[in-house]
Structure 1
Amino acid sequence: MNLLRHLLLGAFLLVWASAVHAADPAQGRELASQCRTCHGIDGVAKIPIAPHLAGESRIYLETQLKAFRSGKREHEMMSVIAKDLSDEEISHLAAWYESIEFSVTLPE
């Protein structure tokens, strides 16, 4: 039983790792053109009610987009946009926004 558990875990990790490596930030940047009005192509929100996405965790972004897509999480605009995104497109978008580096300068 222990061997079977290890084999199943290994298979899961291989599938997960291939999905993780399949995400392409460059493709995500292209897809982000539909996000730029609110979240900005650079991940810095352009309107006060939208969150900044630059540097956000890929896992978090994927989880939230999939929740919008499924209806588990609802938002007037995001539910409409996410419903047509494939898992691959979601991974690309999340990889793009995660890849953006930013820094904050605090006043002295």
Structure 2
Amino acid sequence: MVNAVKFSGDGSTIAVGSRLDHAGLSLWVRDEGIGVPEEDQGRIFERFARGVRGRRTEGSGLGLTIVNAIAGAHGGIVQLKSAPGNGSTFTMVLPLNDQSDKSEEVRA
């Protein structure tokens, strides 16, 4: 969310949403910012990675690395859809755990 604000201009819309379905829980943030160039997309989740345009903006290059690590720790993934000048959508998908199976294991 911080990046969406940081890389979007005044008056831009930032949307946040969620969806629950058979694939799991999806959480997304969509902005109308500068977008991520295709050449930067492959490494955007690496520690200290900063896109060419991002280097002109304050930040450590750790935020997306942390988000990706949290998703991975829960068996999830983070996806990026972006095009320069057309904004970005980051989606975190977390799998659902079958709590009934877990409670059976605890009782045994």
Question: Whose RCO is larger (CA < 8 A, sep 6+)?
Answer: 1
TM-score by length of 1: 0.28
Higher strand fraction (1 or 2): 2
